[in-house]
Chain A
Amino acid sequence: MQAFFIRHPKVWRAFDILLPFLATLAALGVGAVMLMAFDANPVVAYGALLEGAFGSTNAIADTLVKATPLLLVALGICIAFRGGVINIGGEGQLVLGALASTLVGLTFPDMPGYLIIPLALFVGFLAGGFWGAIPGFLKAYFNVNEILSTIMMNAIAVQGMNYLLKEPMIDPVQLEAASRIPQTARLSAAFDLPRLVPTRLHLGTALAIIAAILVFIFLWRTVVGYRIRAVGMNASASRYAGINVPRNIVLALALSGAFCGLAGAIQVFGLHHRMFTDGSATGFTGSAGFNGIVVALFGQLHPLGAIPASFLFGALIVGANKLQRVMQVPASFIIALNGLVVVFVVSADYWRRRMARRREAEVVSEELISSEAEVPT
């Protein structure tokens, strides 16, 4: 197989791109066995999944809506990973972005949408960035492990959200009705992100795709992006090259948090139009802060790769809900299926890298031999 790939580099490329999808199919295959253990017909079950994800305009729109925060978080994760830091704090940063943008919307209820929407999204972006910059600062200057600190920042963000939504920011209607459901008032309808087609699909999805392209340009076409990647690949060589390593670590985590914050703001203005909590982060985020990490890995830590990856995961989440409703299998089956996909995709990626290294070594040594032959000595 190796020799075949070397002779046909295009097939090799195509295979590499298809591999995550093949891995997903394999995971669904194992899932089929589990379904049979529940006495459910896998064909019917996966039919339901497909229909739930793609069966109608509304289904596709739902998939895209689900994919939007995943994509934005994944972009943040890409930046962090490329900068050599790991951001597990997507949940907290998302919550911060959502809270801050909601606050903007609640503070200026009478201002026009074309002013408030960009302002609120920007404030959400900054708030998430602030929340990411704190662990970045601790990592860069005090060598605090960013995995631990970002997780702790999640906990702080969630409890802060719970307090704010129960007391200062609670919907006045909830106070009057004494039901005290922890949520804010609905934002002015003028602030709703425009719908793209008459479904739940909103402008946020388009913004996320534009953001993916911008992140790509940022990482590979700008000086700052170059430096972040250099620091991520080799901090010691970067220091030697005169790059301020701590500053770039802070920047990588701040930008990472900023895109998670933007995801939160877009969830509020595009989908929920208010902020609410069920006491945990998941109630509002739907675990996008964590699933975004998987999406980023699925997209091979490339901002453009994250676009199809987020779409696939969105489809899986939306479709799986339908599957569960139709087949009446336990909800934990969906979690297990999700886990299977992650394991298969990550393993397949590991395998792909190992194969690629070997093939690269062969191709390069052949190229080198031929190039040495050409250089006269």
Chain B
Amino acid sequence: MRGHCPRISAQESIFRIQFMVENSEFLPSGKPKISTMEMRGIVKRFPGVLANDQVDFDVQSGEMHALLGENGAGKSTLMRVLYGLYQPEEGEILIDGTPVKIESPHDAIEAGIGMIHQHFMLVPTLTVAENVALGLPSTRGALTDLDNVSARVLELAELYGLQVDPDAYVWQLAVGQQQRVEIIKALYRGAALLILDEPTAVLTPQEVNELFVTLRQMMVDGHALIFISHKLQEVMDICSRVTVLRDGRVVGQEPIDQVTKGTLAQMMVGRELQAKPEKEETEQENVRLALRDVWADNDLGTPGLHGVSFDLRAGEILGVAGVSGNGQRELAQAINGLRDITKGSVKAGERDLTGASPAEIIEQGVSYVPEERMEDGMIKEFTVAENLILREVNKPPFSRGGFLNFRAISRQSEDLIKQFNVKTPSKDTPVKNLSGGNIQKLLLARELSRKPKVIVAAQPTRGLDIGATEYVHQVLTDQRAEGTAILLISEDLDEILALSDRIIVIYEGEIMGEVDAGEADPEQLGLLMAGVRSQTGE
């Protein structure tokens, strides 16, 4: 195969690509195309769940086929079957019309299938070339052949327009660059069909655009691409066909020009979506939470917050936008007393909360929906009822004289389960057995039942499906209408734009700027998120 791909200049390569696309069975990488891949009648059962029920799915060379569906719809299961991680009970996989057995990721790679996981599978302390070579036999036996690997990486980078330095260490690379390394890794292994699992989840708007340029080129080159997402706009922008899964079954398979965002959303959730939550006019006078020049260290002991200041008023939602890992976690924890504030002050109304204990801050009516709900927000071995009193176990009516009052605890949990429509077998079920959306509902139920003055909501809809996300948005909007001050920390720009009154952007622990939600545009926010200050600020 190598023979088909001598080193060539960029200019030549473009001609070559065009020539090959039209006339060749080979990809720019020199590997053969997969002209069709078909999955027929795939059935995959898990104990008590039918994850895939007679699913038909196919993808062809030169197209990007979107696989849409809510969490638990069976998207990942289907792709895991294709990538050899699961064995289906029924059904077959055909590549170019020939049935193939894919019993392991190794078989999948052999067959020309590559997968870009949502969480990158890279070793940060190794170089790009080392990561690419990882797990592959060397042409020099026991010795490494990293020079050859580097050369090939450069070659692929040039062919596909994926700028990357083979000798850079992965930890030095930005998220977008790491994703390019993942793509090159798959291409290096000869992938003709690429599965992209929510590839845009961790990228800034600019990085998404760059990725899409690459993916479009790959389509033209004759790759077959599968795009897993629940972001409808992206699917509409880049895919040629879309398959929607619900409850393990295909509920729709259409060319992209036959559908709209609305019809797709309806297919995914199986019902009409509510309109965007209406924002009522609210009084936004009283400052409920004031941060002044707050500094705090991150887990490495270096400053994670660099002098953050803002006011949060009653009846408003203040959105904190930013790419993950820019101090959002430190900010939420510092406000809630879970991280030492090294400098500056936090005030709730007149009360100084700098250095207060979490218990004192809870006492002041600050509710917190933490980013890691299973690790920080819930005790997963405890039951639903036990978790619902986690922050108020020492208060009447839940306990009297040091003894738990089970009657009050069950009444509370029954009320909240009903009010927040939590799907759980019973109030005595351990929380670990609930779905992500229901756990988030429980958390909100607990935090809101305290009638908070301030809510700090960190990534409140991360990992939730459309229905649950909609619900969380509604709850936050209702709280705003009741005059609660809400700090919404989110990496989902659409969410920030939809809910916030004002938006601040955090980058490397600093507030880059503030914009009024009415005037904000994603492009401007994207620049701030990437650390480019607005001209007016300079």
Contact = CB atoms under 8 A, between A and B. Distances in A.
A307 B336 CA distance: 43
A234 interface: yes
A236 B423 contact: no
A242 B393 CA distance: 10
Contacts of A230: 379, 382, 390
B357 A242 contact: yes
Nearest to A367: B425
B-side interface mostly: loop
Contacts of B421: 375
Contacts of B377: 237, 240
A236 B47 contact: no
Given A242-B362, A368-B425, A236 B375 contact: yes
Interface stretch (A34-42, A221-229, A346-354): A221-229
Given A230-B382, A364-B425, A222 B370 contact: no
Given A237-B378, A365-B48, A244 B399 contact: no
A234 B271 CA distance: 38
Interface stretch (A130-138, A281-289, A355-363): A355-363
Interface in B412-445: 421, 423-425, 429, 433, 435
Contacts of A363: 48
Contacts of A361: 47-48, 433
A377 interface: yes
A234 B379 contact: yes
B370 A240 contact: yes
Interface in A150-179: none
A223 B379 contact: no
Interface in B329-384: 336, 338, 357-359, 361-362, 368, 370, 375-382
A234 B425 contact: no
Interface string B33-72: 0000000000000111100000000000000000000000
B375 A234 contact: yes
A188 interface: no
B20 interface: no
Nearest to A368: B425
A58 interface: no
A-side interface mostly: helix
Contacts of A367: 425, 429
A234 B338 CA distance: 15
Nearest to B390: A241
Nearest to A245: B358
B402 A223 contact: yes
A239 interface: yes
Nearest to B378: A237
Given A221-B404, A222-B403, A241-B391, A375 B423 contact: yes
A76 to B, nearest CB: 21
Contacts of A243: 359
Contact of A242 (B386, B391, B435): B391
B534 interface: no
A223 B393 contact: yes
Interface in B390-417: 390-391, 393-394, 399, 402-404
Contact of B402 (A224, A238, A375): A224
Contacts of A278: none
A377 B271 contact: yes
Contact of B393 (A227, A237, A239): A227
Nearest to B434: A368
A240 B47 contact: no
A110 interface: no
12 contacts: A223-B404, A237-B376, A237-B390, A238-B379, A240-B377, A241-B390, A241-B391, A242-B357, A358-B47, A365-B47, A365-B48, A377-B271
Given A237-B376, A237-B390, A240-B368, 11 more contacts: A223-B394, A234-B381, A240-B358, A360-B433, A361-B433, A365-B46, A365-B48, A368-B433, A368-B435, A369-B49, A371-B425
Interface of B: 46-49, 271, 336, 338, 357-359, 361-362, 368, 370, 375-382, 386, 390-391, 393-394, 399, 402-404, 421, 423-425, 429, 433, 435, 467
Interface of A: 221-224, 226-227, 229-230, 233-234, 236-244, 358, 360-369, 371-372, 375, 377
